Amino acid sequence: MKKTLLSALLAIAPVTAISDGAPPLGPLDAAAIDRVVANAMTTFGVPGMAVGVIKDGEVRYAAGHGIRELGQPERVNTETLFRVASVTKAFTAAATAILVEEGHVSWNGPVIEYLPELRMSDPWVTANISPVDLLAHRSGLAPFTGDLMLWPAPNAFTEDDIIHALRYFPLERGFRDGYTYDNVLYIVTGEMIERVSGLPWGEFVDQRLMAPLGMDRCFAGPIPQSAMTNLAAPHGDIEGELAVIERNRIPSRPDKFSPAGGIACSVTDMLKWLGLQLAGGTTPSGETLFSESQSRTMWAPHNWLGVGQEDRDVHNTNFRAYGLGWRTRDIQGELEVSHTGSLDGWRAEVVMLPEQQLGIVVLANGASTSARNAVSSAIQYGYLPTGQRDWVAYYRDAEAEAAARDDDDTDDSSTATSTPPVIPARPLETYTGRYNDPWFGDIAITLTGDELRFTSARAFKLNGPMTHHSGDLFVARWEDRSVGMDAWVRFEISADGEVTAVRMNRNFEAGGTVDYFKELNFTPVNEP
Give burial (CB, 10 Å; 0-12/13-18/19+) of 174: exposed
Give 419 or 17, the one with higher predicted confidence.
419
Averaged pLDDT for residues 465-494:
95
Say what the pLDDT of residue 307 is.
Answer: 96
Angle at 328 between CA 215 and CA 39, to 5 degrees: 70
Say what the pLDDT of residue 81 is.
Answer: 98
Say what the pLDDT of residue 12 is.
Answer: 40
Binned at pLDDT 50, 70 and 90, residue 410 comes out as: low
Return the half-sphere exposure (C-beta side, CA atoms, 13 A cut-off) of residue 184: 29
Whether residue 292 has pLDDT greater than 60: yes
Q: Which CATH architecture has domain 426-524?
A: Beta Barrel (2.40)
Give burial (CB, 10 Å; 0-12/13-18/19+) of 492: middle
Closest CA to 90 of 240, 244, 227, 295: 295
Contact 130, 303 (CB under 8 A): no
Whether residue 27 has pLDDT greater than 70: yes
User: Is the peptide bond preceding residue 420 cis, with omega within 30 degrees of 0?
Assistant: no
Closest CA to 162 of 233, 255, 33, 251: 255
Binned at pLDDT 50, 70 and 90, residue 416 comes out as: very low
Closest CA to 452 of 480, 483, 473: 473
Beta carbons within 10 angstroms of residue 498's beta carbon: 11
Residue 207 identity: Q
Contact 235, 366 (CB under 8 A): yes
CA distance linking residue 320 with residue 22, whole number of Å: 31
DSSP 312: H
The sign of the dihedral angle between the CA atoms of 328, 329, 332, 335 is positive
**For the segment 374-387, what is each residue's pLDDT rounded down to a tens digit?**
999 999 999 999 88
CA distance linking residue 300 with residue 132, whole number of Å: 11
Q: b vs e for 360-384, b when ≥16 Cβ sit within 10 Å of the residue's Cβ?
A: bbbbbbbbbbbbbbbbbbbbbbbbb
Whether residue 305 has pLDDT greater than 50: yes
CA distance linking residue 209 with residue 269, whole number of Å: 12
CA distance linking residue 115 with residue 184, whole number of Å: 14
Homologous superfamily assigned to 2-87+217-402: DD-peptidase/beta-lactamase superfamily (3.40.710.10)
Mean pLDDT, rounded, of the chain? 92
Return the half-sphere exposure (C-beta side, CA atoms, 13 A cut-off) of residue 238: 18
Whether residue 229 has pLDDT greater than 90: yes
Averaged pLDDT for residues 112-140:
98
CA distance linking residue 103 with residue 97, whole number of Å: 10
Say what the pLDDT of residue 24 is.
Answer: 58
**For the segment 444-459, what is each residue's pLDDT rounded down to a tens digit?**
999 999 999 999 999 9
Whether residue 2 has pLDDT greater than 80: no
Whether residue 419 has pLDDT greater than 70: no
Say what the pLDDT of residue 23 is.
Answer: 55
Contact 482, 469 (CB under 8 A): no
Whether residue 412 has pLDDT greater than 80: no
For residue 251, what are the contacts with CB-CB under 8 A and spacing of at least 6?
A: 223
**For the segment 320-362, what is each residue's pLDDT rounded down to a tens digit?**
999 999 999 999 999 999 999 999 999 999 999 999 999 999 9
For residue 333, what are the contacts with CB-CB under 8 A and spacing of at least 6?
A: 316, 385
Beta carbons within 10 angstroms of residue 282's beta carbon: 17
**For the segment 176-217, what is each residue's pLDDT rounded down to a tens digit?**
999 999 999 999 999 999 999 999 999 999 999 999 999 999
CA distance linking residue 399 with residue 368, whole number of Å: 11
For residue 105, what are the contacts with CB-CB under 8 A and spacing of at least 6?
A: 96, 99, 114, 131, 192, 196
The pLDDT > 90 percentage for the chain reads 87
Give 11 or 399, the one with higher predicted confidence.
399
Binned at pLDDT 50, 70 and 90, residue 171 comes out as: very high
Binned at pLDDT 50, 70 and 90, residue 414 comes out as: very low
In angstroms, what CA-CA distances link 501 with 107, 212, 464, 488? Answer: 41, 54, 20, 14
Extents of the domains making up the chain: 2-87+217-402, 426-524
Closest CA to 464 of 450, 449, 479, 446: 479
DSSP 103: T
Say what the pLDDT of residue 335 is.
Answer: 98
Say what the pLDDT of residue 513 is.
Answer: 87
Pairing, β 473-476 against β 487-493: antiparallel
